[in-house]
Each structure stands twice: as structure tokens, then as C-alpha cells.
Amino acid sequence: MVAERLRSLSAGRGEPPLKVISLQGGLASRRPTDPSCPTVILGTLPMYGSRLLFRGYGSSRRAVDAAMAGTDSLVLLDEAHLAPHLRSLTVALNECIPGAQPLHGRALYIHVPPGKRRGGKDKRGNLWPVYGKEPEHVLQRLKDAQPQPDETVNLSPRRVAEVLGLPGEDPGRAPEVLPGILWEWVKTTTPPEGEAPVEPYFSGMASPEYTVSVIWRVHVPESGRRLWPRAKDREAVDILIHELKDTLKDTADTCWLGSDGVTAEEVASKDSLRPGDRIVLPTNRGLLDDFGWNPSATDPVVDVSLTGQGLPLNPTAVKRLCGIDLASEIKQALGTEDDETNELDEAERDQAITAILEAIRAVETPKGWDPEEWSDFTDSLEPSIVESRREVARLRVRSPQREGGAPVDDFDENSLVDSVSASNRELATLAGHGQAVGGQSRMVAEQVGPSSAPM
């Protein structure tokens, strides 16, 4: 019953009843293809706030993400008292939407009782999961302030303020969203240099925490080339931008991903980094340990993108991965040996590929890899080279994981339907494509728009 009801809300056919999407580290695992499909999206405050103001971190479809963030959305904010500026922003924006109805509930409170051992006695004391012993100390202060010891503790906000005093933290101020600034944000053209940042509007002006997303790869593409494998949210780490600038001594072998999330662009200097940038660092830079970001860590970082994808045929990447020099073998396998006057025949290239696989499988397990995982990875590599335009050549694994989404060059418009269908060639024409997009848009609008029935 629940699944059928959820499916009835979606304009698209074949959609699941409910989607769950994670936004982590400035990278989205995927984007809803049908705005009317019920979807649960998990993300941080900056990920949501930046999308609401048309400057979504890691987003190349800013208008689409802004519509999804601000239309027909229920926003549940954990620890809402820590984000007063975002709450003020959303309340103000909702007042500008005709027909918007505020919820009766202002907040949802969930009480997590202290953990107790079997038998009902907590041998560890009243230690709460997150706040430690502070709740116990606060309650004791309120009890001590009671005129009579046996009276019920008065927990009204006024009484708590009288006993404990007003909060000492200053939440800071947030600027006002002026029409001219909002107009610049909503434009779908390339953002102008020096435009107003969106962070103060949902994080405040006192001490906004600007972050960048960092991933570690054995192969860092040159400027203008495309990242392979594609960046995933599970490998990204959010780092305060000032900490990264203080830690990086130079930007050699470093790139950042453009608006499409695929094409690499040169980082001219660390001062050119901006909030929301997606940075690719070589694995031998370190700066990450088992507990996360660590500026003093020097051990190589594991490139988690390789598992289920393949091995980049790049001498530097192979050396970073397992510490061996296969430059000559890789050149032979790719048919680019410098001292060859004639092209290598197929047999010689196959021999070079075999030599590469044998050398990779013979090395000791690289640091950070599980021996069984490394063995499975190397054994799954196939002796055939995959070459794609503007991407590094590679040996792929036997059953590669789907990277998701079409290649960036295959996008034509922000279309809601496929332009070409094997079963319907009429969609291949411009008129057919336009009619299909219009029909799908109408279906979505009817699902998410105001009801046409009399109120």
C-alpha cells in the first residue's frame, strides 16, 4: 500500500517508490531524474544551503538543484539550534512562495536515554552518548536552585535562564538577501568573478566555515583531461579551506574539477582555492590517516576508486600505487615506445601487457590495502587496454562497476527524457524531442504543482 501510494506521486514510469541519495564531500552520488519522485536526500548544511541559493557545491545543474531544494521539500535540520541563519533564510524564502503552508510543528525532539547495562544499573555513571556528563551537571544545578528539595524541577525557559544565565555564544549576524544579489545567483550563465558568496547567508558572518572537498588518486589528470574513475562521494573528505591552504606547500600534481565534475583544471596557486572546490591530490601527498584529515600524516593514501574499475596505464600512477617502474612496458603496451621507428605489432603489445600484469601481481601488498583485496583486484585485471578520449588508458577489471551517468560529452540539454530511443525513432528529431520534453515537463508539473481541484 505504501509503495503504491509513493509510486502514484511520481510522473515517471518505472521509478522506484522511494529514492535515497547522499550528498557528501561536495559530491553527489547521483541526482533525481524525476523531480516528482519521492526522494530522501542526506546532506550537510552547506550542501543544502548552497543549492537553495543556486550555488550548489559539486553541482553542474544549479537551477535544477535549486528547484529541488526549494520546491515541495520538507527540510529536517538536525541540531537546528546550531544553524539559526539557515532557519531564518528558509522561513524568509517560504514567505515569498504563494500558497506555501507552514508546518504546525516547529521542531522534532528525540530523547536518547543514557545507556544502561543489564540489570538496570549503569556502572559507567550518567554518561550520555554525545554530551558526556554535562546534562547531569545542569540538572543538578537546577535541583539545587529549588526552594524545596522535593519539588518538581521547573524546566521552563525563563526559569532555566534565571538559574543558568543567558547563553554565552554569539550566533553572529547573517546578511540580507537583496534582490540584485539574488538576481545574479539565479542566472544560469557562468558566475561572474567577484560575485557575492552564499556561505554567510546560511552560516552567518561571525565565523563561517568554508570548506573544500578533497579526493586522493594515484593518477591526477592534466588540465583539460577527464578524471577516471569518476569521483564518488564516498572517497571525498571535507576540509576547512584555510587548513588546506596552510598545509599545502605547493600545488604541483594537484588539480581541481570543473563544473561538470569530470574535467580537470590547473590549480594556479593555493590562494586561488575557493569554497566548494573539488580538489584532487596525489596519494603520495599523505595528509590523511585512519581517523580522517591529518596535516602531519605522511603515509600514502589508498586510492579507493580503483577497486571495481581498473588500473590506469600511467608510469607515475603505477609507481605511486605499488612502487615499481613500468614506464618502458607501459609505452610498449600503448604503442608509444620512443626508440621504435616502426609501430609495434599486436603480439609485442600483448607481451608488454602480460609483463605489466605479472609485475603488478608479484609485488607485495601496498600499504593500506588488505592482502585479500589486493589479490582480488590484481587477479581481476584483464589483458586488454581501454582507451577513451581525453582520459587515461587503463586495464579494466573483469566486471567493472557502473560509474553512473552518461559521459559529459553526451549531455545535450538538461533534458528529462532520452533524445534517442531504439523503440521510438521520432524522438531523434528536434520536433519529437521538444514534444517529449514538453509532455514530460507537464506530467511533472501536474504532480508537484498546486492541485487544479477546487479547494
User: 259-299, pLDDT tens digit by residue?
Assistant: 788 999 989 888 888 888 899 999 999 999 887 888 989 99
Instruction: Give the mean pLDDT of the chain.
Output: 79
Question: Are residues 384 and 240 located together in one domain of the fold?
Answer: no
Q: Of 293, 320, 347, which marks where a domain is finished?
A: 293
Q: How confident is the model at residue 77 (pLDDT cuts 50, 70, 90)?
A: confident
Q: How confident is the model at residue 330 (pLDDT cuts 50, 70, 90)?
A: very high
Q: Is the pLDDT of residue 452 over 70?
A: no
Q: How many CB atoms lie within 10 A of CB 380?
A: 17
**Mean pLDDT of the region 384-388:** 90
Phi/psi for 42 (5° steps) reads -105, 130
Question: Are residues 260 and 348 located together in one domain of the fold?
Answer: no
Question: Are residues 237 and 383 located together in one domain of the fold?
Answer: no
Closest by alpha carbon to 233, among 451, 29, 74? 29
**Mean pLDDT of the region 139-149:** 83
Examine residue 109 and state whether it is found in any structural domain, yes or no: no
Question: Are residues 438 and 328 located together in one domain of the fold?
Answer: no
User: What 3 state SS string does 84-103 have?
Assistant: HHHHHHHHHHHCCCCCCCCC
Calculate what percentage of the chain has a pLDDT beyond 70.
76
**Mean pLDDT of the region 295-310:** 91
Question: Are residues 67 and 152 located together in one domain of the fold?
Answer: yes
Examine residue 283 and state whether it is found in any structural domain, yes or no: yes
Apex 388 CA angle, 387 and 391, nearest 5? 100
Strand pairing report for 211-217 and 39-42? unpaired
Q: Which residues pair with 240 in a beta bridge?
A: 211
Examine residue 317 and state whether it is found in any structural domain, yes or no: yes
Q: Is the pLDDT of residue 431 over 90?
A: no
Distance CA 113, CA 108 (A): 16
Closest by alpha carbon to 264, among 304, 232, 224, 230? 224
Question: Are residues 44 and 175 located together in one domain of the fold?
Answer: yes
Question: Are residues 28 and 175 located together in one domain of the fold?
Answer: yes
Contact 270, 244 (CB under 8 A): yes
Contact 92, 177 (CB under 8 A): yes
All three cell numbers of 450, joined, read 498546486
Strand boundaries in 340-389, DSSP class E: 381-386
Peptide bond into 300 cis (omega under 30): no
All three cell numbers of 343, joined, read 609501430
Question: Are residues 225 and 348 located together in one domain of the fold?
Answer: no
Q: What is residue 154's predicted lDDT score, i.e. its pLDDT?
A: 82
Apex 278 CA angle, 275 and 284, nearest 5? 120
Q: How confident is the model at residue 207 (pLDDT cuts 50, 70, 90)?
A: low
Question: Are residues 274 and 342 located together in one domain of the fold?
Answer: no
DSSP state of 325: -
All three cell numbers of 281, joined, read 591530490
388-430 residue pLDDT tens: 889 999 998 988 776 654 444 333 344 444 434 444 555 557 7
Question: Are residues 314 and 177 located together in one domain of the fold?
Answer: no
Q: How far apart are the first and last CA of the chain?
A: 26
Out of 7-16, 143-152, 293-302, 406-415, give the one with best mean pLDDT.
293-302
Q: What is residue 360's predicted lDDT score, i.e. its pLDDT?
A: 94
Strand pairing report for 19-24 and 39-42? parallel
* Structural domain range at position 279: 210-293
With 0-12 / 13-18 / 19 or more C-beta atoms within 10 angstroms meaning exposed / middle / buried, residue 288 is buried
Question: Are residues 168 and 27 located together in one domain of the fold?
Answer: yes
Distance CA 112, CA 78 (A): 14
Side-chain-side CA neighbours of 233 within 13 Å: the count stands at 19
Q: What is residue 320's predicted lDDT score, i.e. its pLDDT?
A: 94
Examine residue 195 and state whether it is found in any structural domain, yes or no: yes
Question: Are residues 94 and 165 located together in one domain of the fold?
Answer: yes
pTM over 0.85: no
Examine residue 360 and state whether it is found in any structural domain, yes or no: yes
Q: Is the pLDDT of residue 32 over 80?
A: no
Examine residue 263 and state whether it is found in any structural domain, yes or no: yes
Q: How confident is the model at residue 28 (pLDDT cuts 50, 70, 90)?
A: low
Structurally, how many domains does the chain consist of?
A: 4
Q: What is residue 177's predicted lDDT score, i.e. its pLDDT?
A: 82
With 0-12 / 13-18 / 19 or more C-beta atoms within 10 angstroms meaning exposed / middle / buried, residue 250 is exposed
Examine residue 184 and state whether it is found in any structural domain, yes or no: yes
**Mean pLDDT of the region 199-227:** 86
Residue type, 216: W
Examine residue 131 and state whether it is found in any structural domain, yes or no: no
Q: Is the pLDDT of residue 126 over 70?
A: no
